[in-house]
Amino acid sequence: MEVERIRSLFPILNQEINGKPLVYLDSAATSQKPLTVINAINDYYREYNSNVHRGVHTLGTKATDAYEKSREKVRKFINANSLEEVIFTKGTTAALNIVAQSYGREQLKHGDEIVLTFMEHHSNIIPWQQVAKVTGATLKYIPLQSDGTLTLEDVQKTITTKTKIVAITHVSNVLGTINPIKEIAEIAHKNGAIVVVDGAQSAPHMKIDVQELNCDFYAFSGHKMCAPTGIGVLYGKKHLLEKMEPVEFGGEMIDFVGLYESTWKELPWKFEAGTPIIAGAIGLGKAIDFLEEVGLDNVKAHEHDLVGYAMQQLSEIDGITIYGPANSEKRAGVLTFNINGVHPHDVATVLDMEGVAVRAGHHCAQPLMKWLEVTATARASFYLYNTKGDVDRLAEGLLKAKEFFENVF
């Protein structure tokens, strides 16, 4: 599908911000939504809004069918072995917390090690810090190379037989680094550890096959892949999920409830307490249809092109520092940078005046900021609806920002 056709499916892109056509370069924070997704949510509320898994009335059956059909779409999307391995959650953060609070609390004991990297998002650090506090496990970090990549030698050195959990991001939301999950999983498994993958920045942008990666858990968020906020997925290997206790209790997730004891439904529902995120799951199903129509390999190639072009354009501007792998082949569509001597919030404000939306701040990765020896950065992130013209507008905006601040100070 041509990028102009793709853009026409995203109504939000067709507007002016501060008198300039919008250039949206913040998809790593949240992506925009195509009409098919917006319409699917609209249709659910207008035509068959109803609770799921209860009662026999027609609307309830229709809603249940749509909700469970989305689960099948997710299963296929990540090539999970069975529907029991696909749990709907609120997002990546919620999914990672389930693994930490259930698997982590049950399996970890004093002296065990949890291995992370310096490039993790806070959502893949704090749940492990919390579980380490209550179990007596300790955290260890795989070091980074100066270009923000990992080496398998360092992975091998950090993971030992004491390691029980390796929790790692597939793609860094700051550096764009793509980590070799399959190889890391092999090293982890040889040492008797399991691998938890934070897929928030990979599921939207590349074909994911959880069986090929051989990860034990994989978490991602719908809102970064054209679906609404409030829906995400936890994939887990069935034999692990089966022995895990739920972390939330209440309606929906039970089989039998007595006054003093209760039992749980089978997988995946034992992890879905309460009325689930019905409209969100239906929207996610439609988002997957859309991404598959475009083709994940095309999405990935398009973003590689854009980030390569952006790196070239920005490196021609004096006084810009780009963080992360210099080789665009080693990174996904994320470009983090600073204009030397200018605070990234000021850079983002000038860009906004030019209609260009980027994120500035610590990107929920404070340990990584410390490692980069900065307090904050600006970040442009690309998706299937961005164009080289968007990159040109970014570069022009940055020249204006530089000029402006050079003249002021």
In this complex, which beta carbon is closest to ligand 7TS, that of residue 32 or of residue 169?
169
Site membership for ligand 7TS, residue 198 (CB under 6 A): yes
Q: Which of residues 187 and 360 has its CB atom nearest to ligand 7TS in the complex? A: 360
Catalytic residue among 364, 368, 384, 391: 364
221 forms part of the interface with ligand 7TS (CB under 6 A) = yes
364 is catalytic: yes
Per-residue string for binding with ligand 7TS, 54-93, x by CB under 6 A? -------------------------------------xxx
Residue 33 binding ligand 7TS, by CB under 6 A: no
Taking CB under 6 A as the rule, does residue 31 contact ligand 7TS? Answer: no
Query: Does 201 interact with ligand 7TS (rule: CB under 6 A)?
Result: yes
The size of the interface with ligand 7TS (CB under 6 A), counted in residues, is 17
* Residue 27 contacts ligand 7TS per CB under 6 A: no
DSSP character string of 275-328: S--HHHHHHHHHHHHHHHHH-HHHHHHHHHHHHHHHHHHHHTSTTEEEES-SSG
| Element containing residue 123 per DSSP (H, E) | none
How far from chain centre, in Å, is Cα 262? Answer: 34
Residue 216 within binding range of ligand 7TS, rule CB under 6 A = no
**Structural contact between residues 198 and 169, judged by C-beta atoms closer than 8 angstroms:** yes
Cβ-contact 317, 402 below 8 angstroms: yes
Region binding ligand 7TS by CB under 6 A among candidate stretches 40-48, 274-282, 298-306, 358-366: 358-366
Structure tokens belonging to residue 28: 């790593």
Q: Counting every residue, how long is the chain?
A: 409
Tally Cβ neighbours within 10 Å of residue 160: 13
- Angle ∠(92,112,179) on CA atoms, nearest 5: 45
Q: CB atoms < 10 A from the CB of 234, how many?
A: 25
Angle in degrees, CA 211, 181, 358, rounded to 5 = 115
With CB under 6 A as the contact rule, which of the stretches 120-128, 269-277, 311-319, 366-374 interacts with ligand 7TS? 120-128
Q: Report the 3 state secondary structure along 225-280.
A: CCCCCCCEEEEECHHHHHHCCCCCCCCCCEEEECCCCEEECCCCHHHCCCCCCHHH
What is the closest distance, in whole angstroms, from the C-beta atom of residue 4 to ligand 7TS in the complex? 27
From 123, 149, 179, 338, residue interacting with ligand 7TS (rule: CB under 6 A):
123
Contact flag: residue 29 with ligand 7TS (CB under 6 A): yes
Verify binding: residue 363, ligand 7TS, rule CB under 6 A: yes
Give me the residues that bind ligand 7TS (CB under 6 A), please: 28-29, 91-93, 121, 123-124, 169, 173, 198, 200-201, 221, 359, 363-364
Q: Would you please indicate which residues are annotated as catalytic (active-site) residues? A: 364
